[in-house]
Amino acid sequence: MLFTPFTLRGITFRNRVIISPMCQYSAKDGIADDWHLVHLGRFALGGAGAVVAEATAVLPEGRITHGDLGIWSEAHVAPLARVATFLKQQGAVPGIQIGHAGRKASMQRPWYGNGPLNDADIARGDRPWETVSASAIPIGEGWITPRAMTAADIAALVEAFVTAAGRAAAAGFELLELHGAHGYLLHQFLSPISNHRDDAYGGARENRWRLPLEIATAVRAVWPTNLPLSFRVSSVDGAEGGNSIEDTIAFAQALKAGGVDVVDCSSGGIAGSATAARVTRDYGFQVPFAARIRHEAGLPTMAVGLITDPRHAEAILQAGDADLIAIAREALADPNWAVHAEATLGAADPEARFATWPKQAGWWLNVRQREIDRLGPWKA
C-alpha cells in the first residue's frame, strides 16, 4: 500500500510517503534560498510522494527564529516558486506548511540553545520582538510574557493566513498545511493550558476552537477547490489539564465540516520544546492517535513520529490506522528513504530495480548492479 497512489481532491500522490516540514532556521528575512531548494529537492529525487516545506511564517513576528521561512510579502513568492517547481518536476506533490509561532516566537536557533534570545544572539544580529498569544502566559519560567491578542489582532491574523494561502497557491504549491500543533499560536488557542481568555475565543473547548476554525474556513474559501488542505494537530497535550484525544477527535470533526481534507497527527509541545509531551516514545508512538481520528472523525489522517522502517509503515497502512505516512528525521538520515523502502517492500520491479529513481542516477545504478550481481558480496 505504501507505493499505491492516493488522491485528495484533484491531486494524486504517486505514493503515500510524505516528507514532513522540518525547520532549517537558515533563511534571511524569510526568503528561501539555495539551501531550501537543495534540502527539499533531494527528497523529491528520493522518491517521496509529497514534500512539505517547513513552517512558514504568515507574519514576520510569527517566526520561531530569525532563520525561519516567511510568506508575509510578495518578495517571498518567487523564491518559493522555484522550490515548488522543482519538486513537481521530480514527480512529488509540492506542499507548504504555514503558521505563526505566537509565544514561541523570537527564540534562539536550536544550535544556539533553543531558548529565549540572549546577549550573544543579539550580538549576532538576532534581536527580539514582541510576542503574542491567546493569553499573557509565558511558556515557562525565564521566558518573555506574551501580549494577549486583541480582537483587532485576531482579525489581522485571519487575514494574514488568507493572504499567505493565496501566495502559496501563486507559488505553485499543491498541498497546504495549517500548523495547529507543537505549542505554536493556533495550538495556544486550542489548549486550556495556554488559553485563559474570557471572551468568545476562550473557555469551553468550542470557543477555544473558534480561531483555528475561522482560519481553516477562511483559507479553504481562497485555497483552490481542487487542492487539498491539511491541518497538523497535537493529538494530545500530554500535560495535566491539557487536551485529550477525545477533544481532538471532536475538533477534527469540526475541521472536516470546515473543508479540511486530512489531519496530520502529532502530539505535545504546549510547553517546552516543539514535541515535548509525557507520551511514551516508541516506534510509531503517535499512530494510535491517527487511527482514532481516522475512524472516529471520519477523515484521512497522516501518521508521523518514529516511523523508520518501511515494513512498519506498510503495516500501519494495512491495518487501516492512517492513509499517509509522514517521514521527517529519518529522511534527513536517508533522503532516498522512499526508493529504498520501495525495494525493501518488493514494490520495485526486480528486473528494473532503479526504474523509479531519477534517470540521471538510475541508469548508472542499473549498470553497477549488474557488476555487483556478477561479483557477489565483497569478502575481506
Residues 48-66 have pLDDT tens digits of: 999 999 999 999 999 999 9
For residues 142 and 324, give the distance between their C-alpha atoms in angstroms, rounded to a whole number.
39
pTM for this entry = 0.96
Question: Residue 232: what pLDDT?
Answer: 98
For residues 173 and 37, give the distance between their C-alpha atoms in angstroms, rounded to a whole number.
14
- Per DSSP, 337 falls in state H
For residues 119 and 299, give the distance between their C-alpha atoms in angstroms, rounded to a whole number.
47
* Residue with the three cell numbers 508521523: 304
Question: Residue 39: what pLDDT?
Answer: 98
* Residue with the three cell numbers 525495494: 343
Q: Give every CB contact of residue 73 below 8 A, 6+ residues apart in sequence.
A: 30
Burial of 373 (0-12, 13-18, 19+ CB in 10 A): exposed
Question: Residue 277: what pLDDT?
Answer: 53
Residue 135 is inside which H or E element, if any? none
Instruction: Kindly state the cell numbers that stand for 174.
Output: 499543491
CATH class of domain segment(s) 6-348: alpha beta
Residue 1 is inside which H or E element, if any? none
Stretches in the chain below the pLDDT threshold 50: none
For residues 37 and 324, give the distance between their C-alpha atoms in angstroms, rounded to a whole number.
24
Domain ranges of the chain: 6-348, 354-380
β-bridge pairing 147-148 and 229-234: unpaired
Tell me what the pLDDT averaged over the chain comes to: 95
For residues 325 and 265, give the distance between their C-alpha atoms in angstroms, rounded to a whole number.
10
Instruction: Kindly state the cell numbers that stand for 249.
Output: 477527535
Residue ranges of E strands in the chain: 6-8, 11-13, 17-19, 50-57, 93-99, 132-133, 147-148, 175-180, 229-234, 262-266, 301-304, 324-327
Q: pLDDT tens digit string along 163-222? A: 999 999 999 999 999 999 999 999 999 999 999 999 999 999 999 999 999 999 999 999
Question: Residue 253: what pLDDT?
Answer: 98
Neighbours of 43 (CB within 10 A): 27
Question: Residue 304: what pLDDT?
Answer: 98
Question: Residue 349: what pLDDT?
Answer: 73
- Annotated catalytic sites, by residue? 184
DSSP assignments along 76-94, one per residue = GHHHHHHHHHHHHHTTPEE
List 169's β-bridge partners, or say none.
none
